[in-house]
Amino acid sequence: MAFFLKTKLWQTGALDWWAMIDGEDVYLGNREFPLPPEEGDEWLVRANGDRFKVIDGEIKLIGKEEAPEPWRTY
């Protein structure tokens, strides 16, 4: 996939998005991940509360928030 990003990223068979950021595999989310990722896009990973943004062609971790509570079914 060519998204014209400097960050190496890939998608698993489970449709999860991952990237190599600062030498570590980092989970970028599933449905939260913007397709195609463009300069200035920002998203929150619901599973862990990580907030990412595309800055100068790189995906950067810009913050950590409390993960949102999952949907209740009762």
2/37: higher pLDDT: 37
Identify residue 71 by its one-letter amino acid code: W
Return phi, psi of residue 52, to 5°: -120, 160
Local structure of 43: helix, strand or coil? strand
Residue-level length of the chain: 74
Return phi, psi of residue 71, to 5°: -60, 140
- Model pLDDT for residues 11-58, shown as the tens digit of each residue: 999 999 999 999 999 999 999 999 999 999 999 998 899 999 999 999
Question: Looking at the chain, which runs of residues are DSSP E strands?
Answer: 9-11, 17-21, 24-29, 42-44, 50-55, 58-64
Identify residue 33 by its one-letter amino acid code: F
Instruction: Tell whether pTM > 0.75.
Output: yes
